[in-house]
Chains A and B, each alone.
Chain A
Amino acid sequence: MIRSFIALIACTFVLGISAGEAEARRFGGSKSFGMQRSAPATTPRAAPSAPKAGAAANGAPKRSWLGPIAGLAAGLGLAALFSHLGMGEELGSLLLMALLAFVAFRLFRRFAGGGVQRAPQGMQYAGPTPGNDARETRFNAAPAGGSSAAAVPEDFDEVAFVRQAKINFIRMQAAYDAGNLDDIRAFTTPDVFAEVKMQLDERADGGQQTDVVDLTADVIEVVRESERYIVSVRFHGLIRENRDAAPEAFDEVWHLTKPIAADGGWLISGIQQAH
């Protein structure tokens, strides 16, 4: 009797929690809508190899520091502790010296090993790198999609574009949380706005909180059509859609458009989930 009662309560809680989770969503409700393009749907698999290769090269030495640094950190702390406990200056210094020597030795070995690891990366320049391949197919694939594609224009400042795209991504999450329709209207095409507004109308309660925990963006395609530019930006990283919940991975492509002739900024024309 009691057991079934507890089970009932447990069920209520579980149902309650899952119902609550269904409410909170990021901008666009993790759905695909508006403009959908075929090229970017495949490129998120291929494209990352280009930036990732660079990132890995930069990231590798950083990671290798953690081990020795942690060891040395512990050492310094221990030495301070020994001294503090009155174990004598000699012991503190000696221990620290020993640790330093040990760490220096390990670092030296890392560098010796690092030289070997770096060699193949340098040699990649001799032949076509996987990254360059991906880049080429990306821009070759675009004309197959039916639009007249050009490579990234000379004057296209990708770094600045990505930075602004990230800022707008965060801004849209905040506007979506607050139900700020004016802000959303300023950054979306009418049909995307209609879809987003519908989602907000369906959301019964007043507000929610979405935290962008980790955000990476890559421009995966730049297309010039007769009347507009289309830039597809892939956003991925971690996002917390429910307060107190663990952040979850997300991966979606936003298609941004801007008319060539008329004034006006970049508008979100469509959102496409990677999966």
Chain B
Amino acid sequence: MNDKTTHFGFESVAEKEKAKRVAGVFSSVASNYDIMNDLMSLGLHRVWKTFTIQIAGVRAGHRVLDVAGGTADLSLAFAKRVGPTGQVWLTDINGAMLSHGRDRLIDRGHPLPVAQCDAEKLPFPDNYFNVVTVAFGLRNMTHKDQALAEMRRVLKPGGQLLVLEFSQVYKPLAPAYDLYSFKLLPWLGQKVAGDADSYRYLAESIRMHPGQEELKTLMEQVGLEKVDYFNMTGGVVALHRGFKIH
């Protein structure tokens, strides 16, 4: 029963263990997650998120779910677009991250509903949301297929799922990218947050995450259709989009 293993960075851990270990990483980095985002992505995460928001095409009255929303960057942008007739929900499995996101939303004048929940068991009805997004969250989920299937379930027919995640980098950039993420990043993590291990996990988990085509196949397997993806910054990050047609 407990023999099933999954990866935690480059380590293999029991499936049950992974959620706990991931929670440990994010509880430890929640307070300076904003700095960390800038650090890890060299500030580019703002560009990637802006692009995601453009692709999402959220309009007034839409219902949007931001899974693993962390510090609520996407939720905030969507909240401005849906207006008083729409809904934006922010969820995260990690309480520390979610509190941080909730406080940020309040400080920007958008007290949104937030829910602490597992993306593999979303507490929402079927066919409810126009758009579901998961930005830099899928990587940390134990059963990615189950999580994707849940996100599809809560989508309305015609709705779209957007997955923004680190991906397979363009080959010529790989040596520099490796050097950056395995040497420089943990070093910076140690200097900035005094926590090299968490940063090493993040770098490793990026490598273990499925590449563009693999993730596309995974999304198609759970029943999403017209799946395509956009590479950004030479494939460091990819935005996958899939529709629920039926």
Do these two chains interact? yes
* Residues of A in contact with B (beta carbons under 8 Å apart): 61-62, 65-66, 69-70, 72-73, 75-77, 79-80, 83-84, 88-89, 92-93, 96-97, 100, 104, 107, 111, 163, 166-167, 170-171, 173, 211-216, 237
Q: Shortest CB–CB separation between residue B48 and chain A, in angstroms?
A: 11
Asked whether any CB of chain A lies closer than 8 Å to the CB of B188, the reply is yes
Asked whether any CB of chain A lies closer than 8 Å to the CB of B20, the reply is no
B224-246 contact mask (Cβ, 8 Å, vs A): 1 or 0: 00000000011010000000000
Partner of A100, one of B107, B171, B179, B236: B179
With A65-B35, A92-B173 as contacts: A163 and B192 at CB distance below 8 Å: no
With A170-B111, A214-B107 as contacts: A69 and B38 at CB distance below 8 Å: yes
* A–B Cβ pairs within 8 angstroms, 19 of them: A61-B35, A65-B39, A69-B39, A69-B42, A76-B234, A79-B173, A79-B234, A96-B173, A96-B176, A100-B179, A100-B180, A166-B107, A170-B106, A212-B109, A213-B108, A214-B108, A215-B108, A216-B107, A237-B107
Question: Which residue of chain B is the closest to A166 with respect to CB atoms?
Answer: B106
Interfacial chain B residues near A237, Cβ < 8 Å: 107
CB-based contact A89/B171 at 8 Å: yes
Asked whether any CB of chain A lies closer than 8 Å to the CB of B115, the reply is no
Known: A83-B173, A212-B109, A237-B107. 17 other contacts (CB 8 A): A62-B35, A69-B39, A72-B42, A72-B43, A73-B43, A73-B44, A73-B47, A76-B234, A77-B44, A79-B176, A89-B171, A93-B175, A100-B176, A166-B107, A171-B111, A173-B109, A214-B109
Asked whether any CB of chain A lies closer than 8 Å to the CB of B34, the reply is yes
Partner of B43, one of A70, A80, A93, A214: A70
Interfacial chain B residues near A89, Cβ < 8 Å: 171-172
A88 to B173, CA, bound (A): 10
Please provide the chain B residues from 191 to 245 with a CB less than 8 Å away from any CB of chain A in the complex.
191-192, 233-234, 236
Question: Which residue of chain B is the closest to A167 with respect to CB atoms?
Answer: B111
Question: Which residue of chain A is the closest to B176 with respect to CB atoms?
Answer: A96
Interfacial chain B residues near A93, Cβ < 8 Å: 172-173, 175-176
Interfacial chain A residues near B236, Cβ < 8 Å: 76
Q: How large is the interface on B (under 10, 10 to 19, 20 to 34, 35 or more residues)?
A: 20 to 34
Interfacial chain B residues near A97, Cβ < 8 Å: 176, 179
Interfacial chain B residues near A83, Cβ < 8 Å: 170, 172-173, 234
A241 to B173, CA, bound (A): 48
Question: Which residue of chain A is the closest to B34 with respect to CB atoms?
Answer: A62
Asked whether any CB of chain A lies closer than 8 Å to the CB of B126, the reply is no
A237 to B180, CA, bound (A): 38
Asked whether any CB of chain A lies closer than 8 Å to the CB of B60, the reply is no
CB-based contact A211/B173 at 8 Å: no
